[in-house]
Amino acid sequence: MAPSGEANENFITVKPQDDSTVLVLEGDWIVRNAGALERELERVKQETNDRALTINAEGIQDLDTSGAFLLKKLAGQNQSSFRLKKSQRALLKFVPEPEGRVSQERKRRSFFAMFAAIGRTTSNALTFSWGIFVFVGRISTCFFRNLAHPRHFRLPSVVRHIDETGLRALPIIGLLAILISMVITYQGAVQLRKFGAVIYTIDLTVISLLREMAVLITAIMVAGRSGSAFAAEIGAMKIRDEINALRTMGLNPIELLVVPRVIALIIVLPLLTFLADIIGLAGGGIMSLSLLNVSFTQYLSRVEDVATTTMFFVGMVKAPVFAFAIAVIGCYQGLNVSGSAESLGKLTSLSVVQSIFVVIMADGLFSVAFSKAGI
């Protein structure tokens, strides 16, 4: 039996017209009549067959949240517009959208969100490029100004960073170099043996190591080890307001913190690359002894025939450029840290990602340039 107050009450009156259908809403749209209202909505849906509707809701006497939700459901299903008393509009805005309508809104938002994400990414890339450009200008200005006053160079700081980024990195760089060269030699021997050209495995190892792999692997390792350290150290100083304290004392943070790190890394990375070349060739020699059955003297003789001065300097020329990019990006992100640990972690990770990306992109540009130059 229907509850009292909803048995004979007609909440929705359907009035067909030529171009549309008018729905006249009356009565109390409250939780007590929710069952009857649900049945009325089903009836209206069947009668109108999802045609365009005009809803006149001025006849609603009482409206609560359940009635407002059903009213939104009716309007959302038919994509219609309706008139409502001003006193009831605030309650209607408070009620959330029905599920179907929300999903459609999410689809529309996700469609535009894709283009918004592309726009944000492009904007961030342009902002980063401009920021790096300005930052490099500030570093260059400080460096050339200090050339006129050499005492302004922080020699103890440069030596400390050479020790931290260079000497302490030797074990891991050496281990990676020997492992990479052994892998290249092994894979080259396996493939070239199929063509009876196993002796060219040494050529493959020497060329790939001197031109590309030694400097690239060293730069990537330094970016992950030293670039992140630069960002973290300077970022921690920024959080503790030590950067502002330096400015208050009349000291230039670029001169005190950035230039020594850049100089140290530019000195260290070519040296690490040279050692990676030597250790890598030794690793290739070890694998050649076991796989190719050649003596160490024969291996050295073959290396002398294959390796050239040009080939060596092709790899070494890249090292200072990679070092400059890694140091600049690490210090730049460190100075951009805001006053939170979350910002420090985010920008430290970002500095590593950006440094590796720039290193690989620069290596690709070097390869194209050397190829065009016939080197």
Residue located via tokens 């790190």: 261
The CATH architecture that domain 12-96 belongs to is 2-Layer Sandwich (3.30)
**Domain segments of the chain as ranges:** 12-96, 153-372
- What pLDDT does residue 191 have? 86
What is the H or E stretch that residue 49 is in?
none
How far apart are the two ends of the chain, measured CA to CA in Å?
94
The DSSP bridge partners found for residue 54 are 22, 81
Three-state SS at 21: strand
In 3D space, the residue among 5, 63, 14, 60 whose CA is nearest the CA of residue 36 turns out to be: 5
How much is the pLDDT for 241? 86
Torsion of Cα atoms, 295 then 301 then 306 then 310, to 10°: 130
Query: What pLDDT does residue 305 have?
Result: 86
Q: Looking at the whole model, is its pTM more than 0.75?
A: no
Which of the residues in the chain have pLDDT under 50?
1-8, 77-80, 102
Say if residues 291 and 185 touch (Cβ distance below 8 Å): yes
Q: What is the DSSP letter of 50?
A: T
Q: What angle do CA 221, 227, 232 make, to 5 degrees?
A: 130
Q: What are phi and psi of 215, to 5 degrees?
A: -70, -35
**In sequence order, which residues have a C-beta less than 8 Å from that of residue 198 and are 6 or more positions away?**
189, 192, 291, 292
Cα 85 from chain centroid?
50
Alpha helices by DSSP H, listed for the chain, are 34-48, 65-78, 86-94, 99-148, 155-165, 170-192, 201-208, 214-222, 228-239, 242-248, 253, 259-291, 296-306, 309-335, 341-372
CA torsion angle for 57, 63, 64, 68 (degrees, to 10)? 0
